[in-house]
Chains A and B, each alone.
Chain A
C-alpha cells in the first residue's frame, strides 16, 4: 500500500506498463525531459530512454496517426494529449482510423492504443484547457472510454488500458491530479469496465465519474445531515457503461441523478437516462435528472466556479428528484 497523488499513481502505473512489455511506448508533447506539463511522465524518459518515451513534434494528428502505424507493427502506443481542447486536431485519426481499424479488417487487425487526455475544469486555465469532450468519444463505436477518479483506480486502470487490445480513451481528471489516496499495488484490481459503489445509500442514486465523484461524495455527506441517504456510484467506465450496477442501484432507490461537467445537451447523462428509462421504468419514483455544465462554451476562468456543478447544484438536483 502507498499513499499517492493521482499524478504519481499514473506515473507508477505507466512505469509498470513499460516494464511489463517492451512493446509499450509513450508519445506526446513535452513528456520527456519536462515529464509532461502535469509531470505524469516524470522520470520515465530518463529510465526507459528516448525511444520508448517519445517527445513528439507539436502535432496531435501526427501523434495519433503514427500511433496507428506503430500499433499495426505490434507496438502498444500510449499517447498523451496535452489538454482536452488539443485532442481535436487528432479527432479525425481517433474516430475515423483508431476506432474503425478492427471493424474494417473484419477483426484481423487490432488497435491497442491508449489516448490519455487530461480533462475538465477548475484550475483557472485559459480557453481550450478545461473541456470535457467525453461524449464525442462515447458516441464513436470502436472506442472504449474510461475515467478514474482516485489514485488507486488511476494506477490500475492505466495498466489495464495499456494491456487492452481495444483502443481506450483515458480521461484523467486534471483538477484532481494532486489529490492523494491509498493505492494497493498487490491485490488483483476489479475489471476495467465495471463501476463501483463508492458510498452506499438508499434514497437517491448519484452517478458521477472523474472530477465530479469527489463533489458528489461531499454532497452525500452534506445530505446526510438533512437525513437523506445518497448512493454514490463512480462510473469509472463511460463506454461501455456498466448497466448492471447502474440498474441495480436505480431499482433500489427509484431516483437517479447523473452529474458531469460537460454540457448537458447531447452529453453522457442523456444516454444513461435513456437506458435507465428503458430498463427500470416501473421502479422509478422520479424522472432521471441531470446536473451538468450549461449549454455554453466553457467560460472564462473567473466564472468557472459558478459554471461547474458544485455541492449545492447536486443537492438542488436531489431536492428536485425527491419533490416528485
Chain B
C-alpha cells in the first residue's frame, strides 16, 4: 500500500508530503503518525507541506486531527513551508487551521520543537526591543 514516509530524528518525527495526496493516503498518514509517536516516544512532529499545491478542507482537517492526537500523546506538532498561494486560498476557503502551530520553513519549525514553543528558553531566536 502507498504510504508517506515518516523519518525519526532524535525525539522528533519528520514528514515531508511530496505527492498530491488522495484522501485515503492522508488518513493513512494520520494513523501511521499517531502510532509512530507512541512507538518512538516522540516529543514533536514536523510536517513539511512545501510541496503541497493545495490544502483543502479535508487535508486541513487531517492536519488538525494529527495535531490534536499528537497533543493527547504529549507531542507537539508544527506544520512548515506552506506556499503563499495556499495560505491565501485557505483563508478565503474559511479555514484558519486553529490549533495548528506553523513555521515558515523546516529550520524555524525544528527550532520551535526544540524549545517546546517557549520563546523564553531560546531568546536568541526571538530578539526583543
Partners in one complex: no
Residues on A facing B (Cβ under 8 Å)? none
